[in-house]
Structure formats: structure tokens, C-alpha cells
Chains A and B, each alone.
Chain A
Amino acid sequence: MRYLPLTDADRGEMLAVIGAASIEDLFVDVPAGARLSGLVDLPLHAGELAVERALGALAGRNRAAGAGPFFCGAGAYRHHVPASVDHIIQRSEYLTSYTPYQPEIAQGTLQTLFEFQTQVTELTGLEVANASMYDGSTACAEAVLMAHRVTKRGKAVLSGGLHPHYAATTHTLAHSAGVHTHRLAAAIDAEAAVIEAIDGDTACVVVQNPNVFGTVTDLAAIAAAAHAAGALMIVVTTEAVAFGLLKSPGEMGADIAVAEGQSIGNGLNFGGPYVGLFAARESLLRQIPGRLCGQTVDAEGRRGFVLTLSTREQHIRRDKATSNICTNSGLCALAFTVHMSLLGGAGLARLAGLNHARARALRDAVGAVRGIELLTPRMFNEFAVRLPRPAAAVVEALAARGVIAGVPFSRLDPGGGMDDVLLVCATEMITDEDIACLVQALETELRA
């Protein structure tokens, strides 16, 4: 067994040191009836070649996004990640280290987390950021719980533009904590509708920018209305590249900003692992969930970094903690930080502009197809269109032609009455040829 260093001779000698006659002696505390005498009914060990063949075969039964024209977004985005990012995160010192509990020998992880937090505050336009959450959706749910703790109020208003998976995740967590979620009906361009739902028990409004239909909105009026009523505004961003072009959540008055950071540094990975970004106004610092990395000094006065304010956390506060989160998404946060350090603000702005340009080209081309109606009034890099028939069937039909046209909204919100809506995304990965293929496939399919 290639991963197990002990030999039978080692085992025998070690048992002798322990004073045990056999390995069975070390399992005596397990009730006799629960000790398996034989092997569980699973295959025996296999060599690296055999395992590669088995999993390679499974991988081969999937169509990778890069296999042809591909237009899916809706919370997960296909961007180019420089090779050096993956090289860094595969270094043993980052890949095979633990949460930095011993800061003297974890400055690599800690300093990169401090850089990550700094980058997240600048992108979101807020003052404090944590060291990452599992993903954007759980970060959103945690933000709602945080608003509940801050305001002591019991209701969260979720906009109809919020990604349905985010709304569902938030509902699950909020419900268990006794917070009522009031989710508005799905709407292409109606983030401001949350204003009418604010009442005296509203802890927060949750709005998304760009929203799940791709619509970009100035949220300042919503922030003003929320604040006037004593509620917080939580802004969700599922496409982190948008931070390079759009007004930041903080600039529009967000109290808490959460985002899916996958777009920067991380691949699609069929939905995970991803990395949740979480930032807030400084006054809310003590209610932030998750790890925080802070600057300090060592015994000789040199700068160093440590995990800090842990009195908010489960390992100290137990049932009074701000969250139960322990492991977060460290390596994905590192990938984010390395990619962001390559891009810089100037590069991210350039990348965002490029995405917007590709999406405009796509929108103009798709909008010209007979029978297709453009629905998103102002977009960043994705938009919704109405098809003359159910989008799911069109997507499957186009997949058979080798074109992945986008995400049917019914996949996210079945029975929501928007079965004819298709979400289409263009990143810098999309070429003019890809767009031409999609247009031709749509024309052929819709004519049929």
C-alpha cells in the first residue's frame, strides 16, 4: 500500500513496545458485536494507474466547458486563470498545511490571508473583510444571520433578482435561527421592489448586483430606504470580475457585501470548492462570522500576522459564537489572491471591460435572432432572453449540436413561470466564432 509506511516488522515491534499482543488489543473498547471481522463489501486496493483509468473514464463521460461554444453563467463563471496561480496553490507549504493556529510557522498562510482581506475590502468598498466563507451562497445566509444579530429584528427581505440557490440557502439557515425570509417574486429589473417590503421588523434587505438576470442597478436609493427604517442592506455579487467595472457595494451604501469569488483564480469544478467573500462596515466588526487575520508584532517587534478576535468563534464561544464555521476556503482564497495580485486593479478593470465588450457583442448577435427578446436592460457580462419556447428544451437540443447555450431559468426556479427565459453569459473566453455558432444553432433550432 503506497501511502502506508509501516512494514509488518514495524507493526510487530511497535506492538511489543506498547505491550499489546495484537492489533485487536487496541480495539477492545469497541463493543464486540460491532467489530467487523472481515472486510467491508468494497473493492480491494488499486494502483495509481488503475485509479486514473477509472476516474479518467468518468471524466470522459462529461463534456468539459472548453469542448465547444459555452455560455453558462448564473453564479459560476468560466474565466482564464494564469498557470502560475495553480502552481502556487499546489506548493506543499500551502496545500498541505492546516489552519494557521501556530502563527510563528504559518506566516505564509497568514500574510496571504491579510492580503486577501485587503483586496476584498478594496473590491467591495467596505472596511473589514474576513478570511473567506465556503462560497457566495453560504456567505449570503451568514450575512442575514449577522443582520439579525445586529438589529435584533426577525425578517429578511430577499429581492426577486437574488439567485434562487442563494435565496434557498438563506431561507434554510434563517428559518432555523427563527428569522423569516420574505422573498419577492422573480423579476428581471426590480431590485427596488424590496423597498416596499421593508417594515419595522426588517433586519435587512438582500439585493444582488448584477442580479441573477444580469441586470445592473444603482442600489443607493435602496440603501437609503433600508437605513431610514433601521435595516441593513446586504449586497450579493456572484460574478467577482464585475468589481472591476461596477460601482462597489460600499459606494452604494451596503452595510455587508458578500460575493462568490470563484471567478478570480478558481475554476468551475462543477460547483465547488469555491470561495465566499464577506465584507462589512467597520462598526459591525464584532458580529462578523468566520476567521479574521490581523497584524501584530513578535517578541522582537517585527511585524507578523495572527488569527484574531477569536472570541467571536466557535472554538472559544461555543454556543454563543457568531457562526459555527471552522474550516473555510483557505486554498481557494489563496488562488483568488494570487490571481488578483497578477491582475491588479488596472488588470481587473481591463478584464471586466473585456467581459462587458464580449457580452455586448453576444447580446447584439443573439438579439438579432428572430423570435428572441432581450430582457435585461443594463448588463455586465450576462443577460436574460425570452425564447419562443421552453428554454430547457432548447438548451438540450443545442447541446446535441455541440453548443451549450446557457442556463434555462427553470433549472433554478422550476414552476416559477419563467420557463421561456434563458440566461446567457459571455466572458473573455468567448470568441467571435463561438458567438456565430450560437446564433446559427439558435436560428436553426427556432426555425424548426
Chain B
Amino acid sequence: MTAMSIGRPTRPSSLDVAPDKARPGAGLLQYEPLIFELGGWDKTGVDFPHESVAQDASDLRGLTREPPRLPGLSEPETLRHYVRLSQKNHAIDLALYPLGSCTMKHNPRMGEKLARLPGFADLHPLAPISTVQGAIELMDQLAHWLKTLTGMPAVALSPKAGAHGELCGLLAIRAAHEARGDARKTVLAPTSAHGTNPATAAQAGYRVREIAQTADGRVDLADLAAKLGHDVAAVMVTNPNTCGLFERDVLEIARLTHAAGAYFYCDGANFNAIVGRVRPGDLGVDAMHINLHKTFSTPHGGGGPGAGPVVLSQALAPFAPVPWITHGAGGFDLIEEPRGEAAAALGRLCAFHGQMGMYVRALAYMLSHGADGLRQVAEDAVLNANYVKARLSGVMSVPFPEGPCMHEALFDDGWLEGSGVTTLDFAKAMIDAGFHPMTMYFPLVVHGAMLIEPTETESRRELDRFCDALLELAASVRAGDAERFTGAPFHAPLRRLDETLAARRPHLRWTPHSPDP
């Protein structure tokens, strides 16, 4: 999920920087140059066989190049470089990582082990079907779990991330409308939606109209009803929504949507709040993507890979993209072209069959938790978020105070007013206190938003440590110690970075003439 980044350098700067060599780093945290500054231009850290076959490219005369100009380093140099760099990252294994809407929870290591079994990892996507029966069976099992948990009859596994899943869902909707000669041009989505929702709708060829929000942070039904018409293809609603609230009127949203001949797309980014307790199929949903990297805890990996399977209603199932899994007397098979049984399929969304490595991890997670554990996941996620909300709400302002939140607690910057401290400043000071900031400035409907998602894998002790740290920072705000915030972070590997400069003078690769060091 998103966090708007707002650059606020604490000192105007240029790219003529002081080389960091002058500051070798604090304690054991080493300064580390770019790989291109470590030499090794004619070196390689890979040993090749004493090849008897002549390396002869005479077939390719005029079609070849000189070796790329990239350095190669020995294994010890390479490891040291990337391990040193790793130490400049925060990670869920180090502390609570409260990015609202992003669901940073513990990643079971068993999944890593299982995804590396040669029977999964060393498997070619186009190997003969008879030799990959276990892989297709695994996909089929994952599909069964996803369908059962959501109460939906079909699932498309291949989308490679949440936004790709959104596209899959909207293209299925588009195909369904076109199949009945009812081409429509508009998608409705709330102002609070993830940026991917309008971006996806536009990519799927739709015009986007925003639905207003009520004072209690939900979809405004009157506004929805007024905007629903014969031109509306789909209503996209995140539920629980990006304010961390369950859409109480979800059944009415579905009813109104269907009455207008439109489909109900649910952004399932927050499915982790209700898994095992609520089935989207019971809420009238027609399509919903599931971020396996959120609800089912496949590692985020610093920005992917993710996986975004989409569950589909009966009405949309015929339009699911290929490949399709089938099962007959001869075992499992794949339909890889939109023909025959899959003639109505919307086509193909990517090469091959999707994110198999993520499927293994997600299924391992599901089997580990089981029906009972997954229900507990939702309950503990919601409990932890409400606990954080309860502990902080006396000090930090809550835009929608009425009723419980779901898996994340939303605060605004009302409580910072007049202090000279912004949401960004407060977030950066959290780094000095040992925590990754929460999602900030999202959702857009709340001023200076701070969205905290603790997840179910935090202990009460860690939650208390976190809340204590925030309360202590809040006391500093009240005491007028703005310096602690506006200059933060002071104790991170780097001080605040100049994002404005980066955008004004894009410097996107190292060259021998790079301005530094």
C-alpha cells in the first residue's frame, strides 16, 4: 500500500555532496559505497569450467558486443557489500512495522524452506504436464482454500500482485458486460480508495468517478445511488475500508450496485481483518483480489514479489484469464489458451501460470493456521488494532471515534495543531524511537493521516513498547520540543533525505561521471 512521501529537507542542498568517506559510520554501521565504486571492472566472482568446447561466436559475426562494463567482485567482497547495506534497512524481524494497509506481519520461514524444494523451485513452467502434476495440484489446493475462505465459486490465480488482480477483476467485468452487449464506461470508487483503484480502472479503459464519504468514514449511500446508472460497470470498494472501518452498509452497496446492472468489486487488501469470520461471497461481492503477501504473509521482499489471486462470482467465472486448471481421469491439466471450455476467458495476464513460489508459501501458511488459526488471525489483528487505538486515543486525535476499528487504527493531525510538528515530522521522530513510521498522509480523506496496522503477530509486550514510545513522543510535542521532530531522524543511518532535489534533478544510475563521491 501507499504512503505519500513529502520531501522536506532540513537544509537546502545540491548534488555536490560531501563524500561519506569522511564519516566512516557510527559504531559498527559501515559506510558502503556503490558496487561501481569498489573496483572489479575486469574481475568476476564466478569460476567457470575449464571449458573444452571452444568459445566461438563466429555464427554471430556483426551481432555481438563487447563485455558489458559492469564490475564483478569475489564472493567475500560481494557478501560484505550486501550485508553491510542490509543493515541500513528496517525489517519486520527487527520490530513492529505498523504500515497501515500494508500488513507487515511475521513471515514464517517454513515457507522459504518449502518454496525451495527442487520439486517446486527447479520446475520449468513449460515442462510436460505429466511431470508437474504435484505443482498443479498445489495450485488447485490453494484455489480450494481461497474459494472456501471467501465463499466464492471461482478464482483466477495468475495475477502477480494486488494491482494486477484489480486489473484482472475489472477486465472480467468488462468482458461480462461486453458479452451481453452492454458496454459501460464508468467505475465508481470512494475518495478514500487506494490509488491503485482509480489507476486500474483507467488502465482497464474506464472513466473514474468518486463516491463521497459519510461523516463516520463510510461510503455515502445516497451519493452512490445518485451516481449509479446504466453507464456504471463496477463499484470498487475496499472492505474493511482504508480508514480501518467495516462498511456497515455493504449489503445495501451490493444491492444497489446489482440493481443498476453493475458488478461489485471488493479491494481485498484488508481481507486479513475478516478472514475466517466473514466470507465476501456472503456480502454480494462479484470479484475480489487477495494479496497473498498481506493476508497470507508471503514476504514483502522490499517491494515484491507479491501475488494477487482474484476470486470471482458465478457470473464472472467464465471470463477468468487463462490458465485454467482442470482435473480429469488422466490427472490435472492446464487450459492455456482462451478456447474450448475457456472460450470466454478475458485472455492472458502474464506469461506462464503466475507466482508459484508465492503459492507454496501461502498454502504453507494456510495449512499451518487452519480454519481455527485463520479465524484467530482476524480476531487478534482486530484486537491488537483496537488496543493501540484505545491506548493512544486519549492523546492522538481519532477522526472516526465511534465504534471499534478493524485491523488498523486511524489518527489525524488535529492533535498536532499549533505545535509546529507535522505528521511527517512525528513519523520521522518515531524512527529515532526505534520504530518504523505508520502509513502517513493516507487515506487522503483524513488530514495528516496516520494509519497504524499492528497485525496479529505482535505480542502485547511489543504493542506496549510501541504505544509507550508514541505516548512519550506525544508528551514531547506537548512540551513544545519541536526540534526533536522537525530535525528527525537523528539516529538513522541517514538524516532526512531531500526528495525534492531527487525529483528536480533525476539521477537514476551511476556513471563514471557521476557527481560524487
B152 to chain A, nearest CB (A): 12
A and B contact pairs by CB, cutoff 8 A, 30 listed: A2-B368, A19-B390, A26-B382, A40-B375, A42-B371, A61-B137, A94-B89, A100-B303, A101-B2, A111-B85, A134-B161, A137-B351, A246-B63, A247-B64, A267-B122, A271-B351, A273-B307, A275-B305, A294-B502, A295-B508, A302-B494, A319-B208, A324-B163, A327-B300, A331-B299, A341-B35, A341-B78, A351-B46, A360-B56, A361-B53
Query: Are A319 and B350 in contact, with the CB atoms below 8 A?
Result: no
- Separation of A357 and B277 alpha carbons in the complex (Å): 58
Question: Which of B68, B164, B492 interacts with A123 by CB under 8 Å?
Answer: B68
Stretch at the interface among A81-89, A185-193, A198-206, A225-233: A81-89
- Separation of A317 and B246 alpha carbons in the complex (Å): 26
B65 within 8 A of A: yes
- Separation of A380 and B123 alpha carbons in the complex (Å): 22
Most central of A75, A102, A169 by chain B CB within 10 Å: A102
Residues of chain B lying within 8 A (CB to CB) of residue A433: none
- Separation of A98 and B97 alpha carbons in the complex (Å): 9
- Separation of A99 and B301 alpha carbons in the complex (Å): 8
Q: Mark A346-371, 1 if CB is under 8 A from B, else 0.
A: 11111101101110110000000000
Q: Mark B297-315, 1 if CB is under 8 A from A, else 0.
A: 0011111111100000000
Q: Mark A117-132, 1 if CB is under 8 A from B, else 0.
A: 1110111000111011
- Separation of A286 and B56 alpha carbons in the complex (Å): 41
Query: Are B166 and A324 in contact, with the CB atoms below 8 A?
Result: yes
A107 within 8 A of B: yes
Question: Which of A3, A64, A131, A178 interacts with B205 by CB under 8 Å?
Answer: A178
**Which B residue sits closest to A130, measured CB to CB?**
B508
Asked if A356 meets B164 with Cβ closer than 8 Å, knowing A347-B46, A396-B128, the reply is no
- Chain B's interface size range is 35 or more
Asked if A98 meets B9 with Cβ closer than 8 Å, knowing A6-B459, A104-B492, A321-B202, the reply is no
Query: Are A59 and B134 in contact, with the CB atoms below 8 A?
Result: yes
Residues of chain A lying within 8 A (CB to CB) of residue B90: 93, 97, 102, 105-106
A135 to chain B, nearest CB (A): 6
B284 to chain A, nearest CB (A): 9
B480 within 8 A of A: no
Residues of chain A lying within 8 A (CB to CB) of residue B124: 65, 70, 72, 76, 78, 268, 270, 404
B448 within 8 A of A: no
A162 to chain B, nearest CB (A): 11
B162 within 8 A of A: yes
Query: Are A101 and B45 in contact, with the CB atoms below 8 A?
Result: no
Q: Mark B476-517, 1 if CB is under 8 A from A, else 0.
A: 000000000001010011111111011100111110001011
Most central of A1, A19, A380 by chain B CB within 10 Å: A1
**Which A residue sits closest to B59, measured CB to CB?**
A378
Query: Are A338 and B78 in contact, with the CB atoms below 8 A?
Result: yes
- Separation of A201 and B320 alpha carbons in the complex (Å): 31
Query: Are A92 and B94 in contact, with the CB atoms below 8 A?
Result: yes
A296 within 8 A of B: yes
Question: Which of B53, B82, B107 interacts with A95 by CB under 8 Å?
Answer: B107
**Which A residue sits closest to B441, measured CB to CB?**
A315
Query: Are B34 and A306 in contact, with the CB atoms below 8 A?
Result: no
Asked if A29 meets B99 with Cβ closer than 8 Å, knowing A247-B63, A319-B201, A321-B202, the reply is no
Residues of chain A lying within 8 A (CB to CB) of residue B148: 40-42
Query: Are B351 and A135 in contact, with the CB atoms below 8 A?
Result: yes
Question: Which of A29, A58, A169, A245 interacts with B245 by CB under 8 Å?
Answer: A29
- Which 8 A/B pairs are nearest by Cβ-Cβ distance? A344-B72, A59-B119, A271-B352, A61-B134, A331-B301, A347-B44, A271-B125, A330-B303
Residues of chain A lying within 8 A (CB to CB) of residue B56: 357, 360
Which residues A7-51 have CB closer than 8 A to chain B?
10-11, 13-15, 17-20, 23, 25-31, 33-36, 39-48, 50-51
Chain B interface mostly helix, strand, loop or mixed?
loop
Query: Are A173 and B203 in contact, with the CB atoms below 8 A?
Result: yes
Query: Are A20 and B277 in contact, with the CB atoms below 8 A?
Result: no
Asked if A117 meets B196 with Cβ closer than 8 Å, knowing A344-B40, A351-B48, the reply is no
B70 within 8 A of A: yes
Asked if A344 meets B351 with Cβ closer than 8 Å, knowing A26-B404, A40-B371, the reply is no
Question: Which of A26, A74, A138 interacts with B386 by CB under 8 Å?
Answer: A26
Asked if A5 meets B300 with Cβ closer than 8 Å, knowing A51-B368, A348-B67, the reply is no
- Separation of A361 and B97 alpha carbons in the complex (Å): 53
11 additional A-B pairs beyond A2-B368, A42-B370, A175-B347, beta carbons within 8 Å, are: A29-B246, A42-B148, A59-B118, A76-B352, A96-B92, A99-B303, A106-B302, A111-B34, A177-B203, A357-B55, A428-B49
Stretch at the interface among B14-22, B257-265, B412-420: B14-22
B390 to chain A, nearest CB (A): 5
B287 within 8 A of A: no
Residues of chain A lying within 8 A (CB to CB) of residue B35: 115, 341
- Separation of A100 and B302 alpha carbons in the complex (Å): 7
B474 within 8 A of A: no
A443 within 8 A of B: no
- Separation of A314 and B94 alpha carbons in the complex (Å): 29
A184 within 8 A of B: no
- Separation of A270 and B196 alpha carbons in the complex (Å): 28
Residues of chain A lying within 8 A (CB to CB) of residue B102: 98-99
Question: Which of A42, A106, A108, A415 interacts with B149 by CB under 8 Å?
Answer: A42
A213 within 8 A of B: no
**Which B residue sits closest to A56, measured CB to CB?**
B117
Residues of chain B lying within 8 A (CB to CB) of residue A78: 122, 124
Query: Are B304 and A1 in contact, with the CB atoms below 8 A?
Result: no
Residues of chain B lying within 8 A (CB to CB) of residue A169: 347-351
A407 within 8 A of B: yes
Query: Are B382 and A163 in contact, with the CB atoms below 8 A?
Result: no
B366 to chain A, nearest CB (A): 8
Residues of chain A lying within 8 A (CB to CB) of residue B115: 269
- Separation of A46 and B99 alpha carbons in the complex (Å): 29
Asked if A96 meets B370 with Cβ closer than 8 Å, knowing A163-B351, A342-B78, the reply is no
- Separation of A47 and B347 alpha carbons in the complex (Å): 39
- Separation of A72 and B124 alpha carbons in the complex (Å): 7
**Which A residue sits closest to B322, measured CB to CB?**
A168
B367 within 8 A of A: yes
Residues of chain B lying within 8 A (CB to CB) of residue A306: 5, 7, 497, 499, 502
- Separation of A134 and B303 alpha carbons in the complex (Å): 11
Residues of chain A lying within 8 A (CB to CB) of residue B251: 31, 33-34
Residues of chain B lying within 8 A (CB to CB) of residue A98: 97, 99, 102, 104, 300, 302-303
Which residues A183-223 have CB closer than 8 A to chain B?
216-218
